[in-house]
């Protein structure tokens, strides 16, 4: 009839993934933790019988996304503009090699320079390994839109990271970079 401890444990397995998505959504560490918390409480509210939710990860992502969207609406928040410097707060924790750490930091900077809709799709597909149809359901967009955002996001990030590994910011690429659909 209602959720139980084993379901809570199933939730727990996905908290790290929720954190990643929350970070991509909010672009801010503290907001991200808040989002995860809200999403978990909401998830607990909706859990019913064990086995009720078949694809827990995808279901949790949907809730997290909805929490984020409803917050945006509520606050009528203007789009968060984050300067690249803010991303310096990203601290690799696991002590990767210095070289890797730098490379990943640059990659995330490039990633964060992508439009939000492309970042979300790229994370869900490439990092979280979700199916295109799942991503379409989470974001409530047609699958064709998922595909085009994925394709553009990947290519844009590749171009950004091409060369010396630093995100390029040539003015003449701007019109293309700014195109958001």
Partner 1 sequence: MKEIERGVSDDDLQAYVDDCLDPVRLPEVEAYLAAHPEVAQRLEAYRRQRQDLRQAFAAAVPPQPAADQALLRQAETHLATRQQRRLLAAVAMIAVIIGAGIGGGSGWLLRGAAIAGGDTATIASNGGGKDLSGVAALADEASAAHVVFAADRKRPVELDAAHEADLTKWLSNRLAHPVTPVDLAAAGFRFMGGRLIATDHGPAALFMYDDDKGTRLSLLIRPMANADMQAPLSAVKAHGVDGYAWAQHGIGFSLVGAADSDRLQQLASEAQRQSGGI
**Alpha carbon distance 117, 58 (integer Å):** 17
Residue 173 is a binding residue for partner 1 (CB under 8 A)? no
Residue 126 is a binding residue for partner 1 (CB under 8 A)? yes
- Judge contact between 110 and 85, C-beta under 8 A: no
Residue 37 is a binding residue for partner 1 (CB under 8 A)? yes
Of residues 33, 86, 116, 168, which one binds partner 1 by CB under 8 A? 33
Pick 43 or 139: Cβ nearer partner 1: 43
User: Which of 74, 56, 78 has the alpha carbon at shortest distance from 6?
Assistant: 56
Of residues 54, 77, 81, 93, which one binds partner 1 by CB under 8 A? 93
Chain residues 13-32 in contact with partner 1, contact rule CB under 8 A:
15-16, 19-20, 23
- Judge contact between 68 and 23, C-beta under 8 A: no
Of residues 122, 137, 138, 139, which one binds partner 1 by CB under 8 A? 122
Tokens of 79: 């789009």
Residue 180 is a binding residue for partner 1 (CB under 8 A)? no
* DSSP conformation class of 81: P
């Amino acid at each position: 009839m209602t959720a139980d401890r084993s379901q809570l444990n199933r939730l727990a397995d996905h908290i790290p993934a929720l954190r990643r998505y929350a970070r991509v959504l909010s672009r801010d560490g503290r907001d991200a933790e808040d989002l995860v918390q809200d999403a978990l409480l909401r998830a607990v509210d909706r859990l019913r019988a064990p086995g009720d939710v078949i694809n827990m990860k995808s279901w949790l992502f949907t809730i997290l996304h909805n929490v984020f969207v409803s917050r945006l609406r509520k606050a009528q928040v203007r789009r968060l503009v984050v300067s690249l410097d803010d991303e310096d707060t990203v601290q690799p924790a696991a002590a990767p090699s210095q070289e890797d750490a730098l490379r990943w930091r640059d990659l995330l900077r490039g990633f964060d320079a992508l439009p939000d809709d492309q970042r979300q799709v790229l994370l869900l597909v490439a990092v979280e390994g979700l199916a295109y149809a799942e991503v379409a359901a989470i974001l409530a967009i047609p699958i064709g839109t998922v595909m085009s955002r994925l394709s553009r996001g990947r290519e844009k990030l590749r171009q950004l990271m091409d060369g010396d590994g630093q995100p390029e910011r040539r003015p003449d690429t701007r019109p293309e970079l700014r195109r958001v659909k």
